[in-house]
Chain A
């Protein structure tokens, strides 16, 4: 069933016609063309679809679009606003924490949310916070290093 609904995505209010069955991921990718958010498993396991909902990372593939009406949705597209990479993104490049890149948007958002609530996480805390972001390429060590570097203010403050 279709209906028109206002959403707040990356700080802008947009009016979209959605189907009740649309997930937040469908809303972002198919209705709004924000394809930085990826779909891996579609069932809450891989974290490729991670976005921030009122600041908290969630799996967009298992949230219905209509559930987030009026909530603040932030996607990877909002992170390097103005063309300048975020310190987490810089650190991932620097450390080799991104290869194919499919997991990276989700990793960046999970890591940013972690640093927001815990500016100096231990390696163990980083691993726990990123346990819901699967990566098939890096073996995780370099992702953890990158988040530690970003927390320490290297390389990009």
Chain B
């Protein structure tokens, strides 16, 4: 590693001032330290943001949603009672690495690292998560979905700090699920992942649908063809099959050592269908799919 300065400020204002001077935020370090040690990223000044109380807090929001501090470890997030209403977030956080990794890794870091394969992102997109951001010009909020530019690169300015991920209250009759495929059960990078979210009316008709895919494009993406097919319908095995096929068409994968493009599309088809079936099971209206 090249030489660098290290600071651990306790306020957002101090951290933002340091970032404006060219420093890089450090949350759990499970991406950043690895990248620095492997010489993939040179940083002149590391700013540990875990000592800023807001960045590790879980706070109820006035609308009934919650704000999750960007640097809170996945383990602590998962143990927080307020997360019980967001099982898809807890489950996808718990897919990240080993228990040791989860004791450090944050969902803020997962988002800011901007890997196409990041496991927490599809569920965040499905649930309509917002990113609370602070910078030299003040604060702003952006949908998490709109944050990604290309692999490893968000649309945050270098001088901006992600403060928190803000989740709206889950609407009545809604359910979410994220599934990924990895050759090993733990400690592996998703070859493909699919997150789904459904909302339905009293009669069981889908009123809103979101499908978000991992590892099949330069950034996490939505699957609009699949989403449109689901709205206005009562889920059946045939409908979920079709949605899976359409999600595979929405995917734009590459072939690499972890899987060919065609294989990834096939995974998206199956994972989307299964995640949708899981949402239906959560509703108490199970649909049989393979």
Contact = CB atoms under 8 A, between A and B. Distances in A.
Interface stretch (A29-37, A59-67, A74-82): A59-67
A57 to B, nearest CB: 5
A59 B4 contact: no
Interface string A111-145: 00000000000000000110111000000000000
Contact of A43 (B6, B26, B37, B48): B37
How extensive is the interface on chain A, given as a class? 20 to 34
A131 B185 CA distance: 9
B80 to A, nearest CB: 15
A1 B3 CA distance: 6
Contact of A64 (B29, B100, B101, B186): B29
A116 to B, nearest CB: 12
Interface residues of B, number: 27
Interface string A37-70: 0000011110100100100111100111011010
A63 B33 contact: yes
A44 B103 CA distance: 12
A20 interface: yes
Given A62-B34, A62-B37, A131-B187, A47 B100 contact: yes
A21 B3 contact: yes
A23 interface: yes
Contact of A42 (B5, B37, B46, B48): B37
A110 interface: yes
Nearest to A129: B99
Given A20-B5, A131-B186, A43 B104 contact: no
User: Which 9 A-B pairs rank lowest in CB-CB distance, beginning with the nearest?
Assistant: A132-B98, A131-B186, A20-B6, A56-B103, A62-B33, A132-B100, A21-B1, A59-B100, A57-B100
22 contacts: A1-B4, A20-B6, A21-B4, A23-B37, A47-B98, A50-B100, A53-B103, A56-B75, A57-B100, A59-B101, A62-B30, A63-B29, A64-B26, A64-B46, A67-B26, A67-B29, A131-B98, A131-B186, A132-B98, A132-B99, A132-B101, A132-B186
Given A20-B5, A20-B46, A21-B1, 5 more contacts: A1-B4, A62-B37, A66-B8, A67-B26, A69-B8
